[in-house]
Chain A
Amino acid sequence: MQSSTETHVAVAEVEPAEAEPAPAAPLILLEPLEGDSAVCGPDGWCD
């Protein structure tokens, strides 16, 4: 484990990015067969 008195956060800068074009039509989300979302959210929680 590393330690430091300084906090250096590495975040990709959020200037306008050259993203690939979004799909012309909305995505069709295929719903899960079972109940669990099976994702991890931006708060770090997974369920």
Chain B
Amino acid sequence: MSASVFGRAAEPIVVDVWSDVVCPFCYLGNAVLKEAVEQFPHGSSVQVRYHSFQLNPEFPADQAILADAYLEQRFGAGNPQLAASHANLAARGAEAGLDYQFERTMMVNTLDAHRMIHLAKERGQELPMVDRLFRAEFTEGLNLADHEVLADLAVELGLDRADALEALRTKAYEKDIRADLAQARQLGISGVPFFVFDNKFAVSGAQPVDNFRQALDKTWQSRAASPA
């Protein structure tokens, strides 16, 4: 008899992901994790949950600047490491089907974008919202601090525009976002993306797909070794 009828194998493998929508490696990690889950023989038994993380929580909420300009302010104009980082991400992104347009990518405070992810989660649209926000940020160069832009994206996913604007106006989901940030601190997460498999194994960064496959395999084997 398959162990999937009783015991832990009947429960989904939970992958908790800490991520920020202005983090280019998070966009890549999202795509690579998705590919690994598709390759995993038990992929239908994997549940991915996103958690809020803010790389730049001090960034003014009412401003948006080109991300390259922001990075040059912080790390120096013409920084060769910045160009190398972009080239590396563009190449790896292309392999994963992502179209990074760094010249139009905006730096914003992402708190309101995280509110939209939590709203979408309540409506069963968490992962589509994460995907949509990443594409808006890194391919379309949209301003994710603009409430009208965020409401437009919510409507695209079938959410109610008034609900989205109300969540933004009332600063909804503060408690959920604080809980995500607190849990990140508890886990010692200092950079994103960060992936936790079944509260047991962790992968830091947008690693190659084989790493994620390995994490899924180890998680599955760990369950088999310690049935409920």
Which of the 9-residue segments B2-10, B34-42, B64-72, B159-167 touches chain A?
B64-72
Pairwise interchain contact B196-A27, C-beta atoms closer than 8 A = yes
Contact between A11 and B57, CB atoms less than 8 A apart: yes
A38 x B207 contact (CB < 8 A): yes
Residue from B85, B174, B202, B208 within 8 A of A34 (CB atoms): B208
Q: How many residues of A contact B (CB 8 A)?
A: 41
Taken together as a complex, chains A and B put the C-alpha atoms of A29 and B201 apart, in Å, by: 6
Q: Report the interface size for chain B: residues with CB under 8 A from the other chain.
A: 67
Assuming A10-B111, A11-B111, A12-B177, is B61 touching A40 (CB within 8 A)? no
Closest residue of chain B to A38, judged by CB?
A: B205
* A33-B62 contact, Cβ under 8 Å, with A39-B192, A44-B56, A46-B89: no
- With A10-B111, A28-B200 known to touch, is A40 a contact of B55 (CB < 8 Å)? yes
Q: Give the contacts of A1-35 with B (CB-CB under 8 A).
A: 1-4, 6-20, 22-23, 25, 27-30, 32-34
A9 touches B59 (CB 8 A): yes
Contact A30 to B71, CB < 8 A, known contacts A17-B179, A39-B204, A41-B55:
no
Q: Are A18 and B175 in contact (CB under 8 A)?
A: yes
Closest residue of A by beta carbon distance from B107: A44
Residues of chain A touching chain B, judged by Cβ–Cβ distance below 8 Å, are: 1-4, 6-20, 22-23, 25, 27-30, 32-34, 36-47
17 sampled A-B residue pairs with Cβ under 8 A? A2-B146, A7-B62, A11-B54, A11-B111, A12-B177, A13-B174, A29-B203, A33-B211, A34-B208, A37-B205, A39-B206, A40-B26, A40-B55, A40-B191, A41-B55, A42-B56, A42-B191
